[in-house]
């Protein structure tokens, strides 16, 4: 039985750091809200247990989620096609031929800019076919965007 292998390239190691910050911020906000809620509404007996559980869950999430994401988020560009993988519970792999790529979007959020990272989104003519690579090194993303745009143009046609 032949299966697809994982795409060859990992995203930038700095993405790991960025996701740690990102998830830690989110988890801290959620945990703070949960702790406040527990302190106000929960009965005395379980109040601090609940608050502790929320804090522990936040710490675990901040440590585990980025690691997991870094293991799963992968990409690869062959001579003729682009291949991406993402998702932790439902793992999603997408393949699109270079000739069917219509637009290449380069985007950078404030946090990503701080870490020198970028996201590439490749759209095809299908409403369901966009490929996204998060956490790419900025330089690589720029080169990749140029190269993909050029090859998509070379392929000609209207990519439908």
Rule CB under 8 A: which residues touch another protein?
1-5, 7-9, 76-81, 83, 87, 89-100, 124-129, 131, 137, 140, 143-144, 147, 150-151, 153-160
Query: The tokens 């988020």 sit on which residue?
Result: 73
**Closer CB to another protein, residue 30 or residue 121?**
121
Q: Kindly state the smallest distance separating residue 50's Cβ from another protein, in Å.
A: 25
66: Cβ–Cβ under 8 A, 6 or more apart, which residues?
A: 16, 19, 20, 22, 23
**Closer CB to another protein, residue 55 or residue 155?**
155
**Closer CB to another protein, residue 5 or residue 48?**
5
Would you list the DSSP string of 33-71? HHHHHHHHHS-HHHHHHHHHHHHHHHHHHHHHHHHHHHH
Q: How far does Cα 27 stand from its chain's mean position?
A: 17
**Closer CB to another protein, residue 107 or residue 126?**
126
Q: Kindly state the smallest distance separating residue 3's Cβ from another protein, in Å.
A: 5
Q: Kindly state the smallest distance separating residue 93's Cβ from another protein, in Å.
A: 5
124: Cβ–Cβ under 8 A, 6 or more apart, which residues?
A: 96, 100, 101, 102, 130, 131, 159
Q: Kindly state the smallest distance separating residue 145's Cβ from another protein, in Å.
A: 11
């Amino acid at each position: 039985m032949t299966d697809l292998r994982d795409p060859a390239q990992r995203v930038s190691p700095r993405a790991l750091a960025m996701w740690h910050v990102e998830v830690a911020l989110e988890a801290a906000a959620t945990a703070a809200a949960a702790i406040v809620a527990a302190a106000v509404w929960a009965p005395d007996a379980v109040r601090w247990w609940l608050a502790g559980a929320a804090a522990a869950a936040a710490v675990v999430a901040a440590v585990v989620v980025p690691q997991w994401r870094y293991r799963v988020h992968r990409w690869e560009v062959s001579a003729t096609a682009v291949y991406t993988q993402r998702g932790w519970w439902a793992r999603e792999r997408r393949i699109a031929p270079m000739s069917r790529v219509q637009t290449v979007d380069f985007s950078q959020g404030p946090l990503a800019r701080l870490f020198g990272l970028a996201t590439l989104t490749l759209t095809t003519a299908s409403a369901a076919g966009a490929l996204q690579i998060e956490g790419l090194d900025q330089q690589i993303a720029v080169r990749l965007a140029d190269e993909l745009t050029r090859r998509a143009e070379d392929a000609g046609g209207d990519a439908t």
